[in-house]
């Protein structure tokens, strides 16, 4: 059962490996999102001047924004290490979210154009990557001993909860993003379906659709912000001394 009776272009058992399945639409959209982020990033940092103007102002505002997120979680000395990660995560998640808000592309009965973040596998991959990175930097910056001690602090009997927390963090981080974006796309799809039935349906659906697109844009921004914010919160739990 696929959403709204649209098929996903799934290729099973690539190279004859039984567990290697691809959803080609996801692959396409991940590529598009990455490409867009890369183009935006590179275009914004061409012709940099000491007096920023135009595009450079925008990208510097973005940097300050991410700096603010990091700075609210840890001190800047360790925090500056994560600035590129935060920037790329934010840009990638936001652009991904927006791709599905702008339009959903269906060819035949196959859904090709959507948000890559409207797929739980992808968001959970990002979330897992983030959590693994927090452990990596925890060990790297504080040493294995301090890192291990973090699991039994402040009291040793918290160890099982700490362990569960790592997994629940991963799950909530990924599924929150997925749920928000997927729900937004479902509702947009429903509204599009309603708008294309007949003239009255178009009249009835166009206003809510405009409103919902605006709201989805807002949601897309907020979710990207929350994703980066939580990344930095988890990171600071592992690398900051005061936790």
Partner 1 sequence: MQVFTNSLVLGAEGGFLVGDMLTQLFFFIVLLVLLRMFAWGPLMNMMKEREDYVANEINTAEKSREEAQRMQREASEELKKTRQDAQSIIEDARKTAGQQERDILESARNEAERIKESAREEIGQERDKAIQALKDQVATMSVMIASKVIEKELSEQDQEKLINEYIDEAGEER
> Measured from the CB of residue 22, what is the shortest distance to partner 1 in angstroms?
4
The CA-CA-CA angle for residues 210, 223, 194, to 5°, reads 30
> Measured from the CB of residue 71, what is the shortest distance to partner 1 in angstroms?
15
Nearer to partner 1, 62 or 219 (CB): 62
Summarize as ranges the residues that interact with partner 1 (CB under 8 A). 1-3, 8, 10-11, 14, 19-23, 26-27, 30-31, 34, 37-38, 41-42, 44-45, 48, 50, 59-60, 63, 83-85, 87-88, 91-92, 116, 118-122, 124-126, 129, 182
Cα–Cα distance measured from residue 171 to residue 165, given in angstroms and rounded to the nearest whole number: 10
> Measured from the CB of residue 114, what is the shortest distance to partner 1 in angstroms?
10
Nearer to partner 1, 91 or 99 (CB): 91
8 Å CB contact between 160 and 166? no
Nearer to partner 1, 15 or 199 (CB): 15
> Measured from the CB of residue 227, what is the shortest distance to partner 1 in angstroms?
12
Nearer to partner 1, 47 or 197 (CB): 47
8 Å CB contact between 188 and 69? no
Nearer to partner 1, 84 or 214 (CB): 84
> Measured from the CB of residue 183, what is the shortest distance to partner 1 in angstroms?
12
Nearer to partner 1, 47 or 206 (CB): 47
> Measured from the CB of residue 180, what is the shortest distance to partner 1 in angstroms?
15
> Quick count: other Cβ atoms within 10 Å of Cβ 230?
19
Nearer to partner 1, 3 or 176 (CB): 3
Radius of gyration of the chain (CA): 21
> Measured from the CB of residue 166, what is the shortest distance to partner 1 in angstroms?
18
Place of tokens 């935006």: 40
């Amino acid at each position: 059962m696929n959403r709204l009776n649209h098929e996903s272009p799934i290729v099973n058992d690539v190279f004859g490996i039984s567990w290697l399945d691809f959803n080609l639409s996801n692959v396409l959209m991940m590529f598009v999102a990455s490409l867009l982020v890369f183009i935006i990033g590179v275009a914004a940092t061409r012709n940099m001047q000491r007096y920023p103007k135009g595009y450079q102002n925008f990208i510097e505002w973005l940097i300050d924004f991410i700096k603010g997120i990091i700075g609210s979680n840890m001190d800047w000395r360790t925090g500056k290490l994560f600035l590129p990660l935060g920037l790329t995560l934010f840009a990638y998640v936001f652009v991904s979210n927006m791709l599905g808000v702008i339009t959903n592309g269906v060819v035949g009965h196959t859904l090709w154009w959507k948000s890559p973040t409207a797929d739980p596998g992808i968001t959970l991959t990002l979330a897992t990557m983030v959590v693994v990175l927090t452990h990596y930097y925890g060990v790297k910056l504080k040493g294995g001993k301090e890192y291990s001690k973090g699991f039994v602090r402040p009291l040793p009997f918290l160890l099982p909860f700490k362990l569960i927390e790592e997994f629940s963090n991963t799950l909530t981080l990924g599924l929150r993003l997925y749920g928000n974006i997927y729900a937004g796309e479902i509702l947009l799809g429903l509204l599009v379906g309603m708008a294309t039935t007949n003239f009255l349906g178009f009249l009835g659906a166009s206003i809510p659709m405009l409103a919902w697109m605006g709201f989805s844009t807002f949601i897309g921004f907020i979710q990207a912000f929350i994703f980066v914010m939580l990344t930095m919160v988890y990171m600071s739990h592992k690398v900051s001394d005061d936790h």
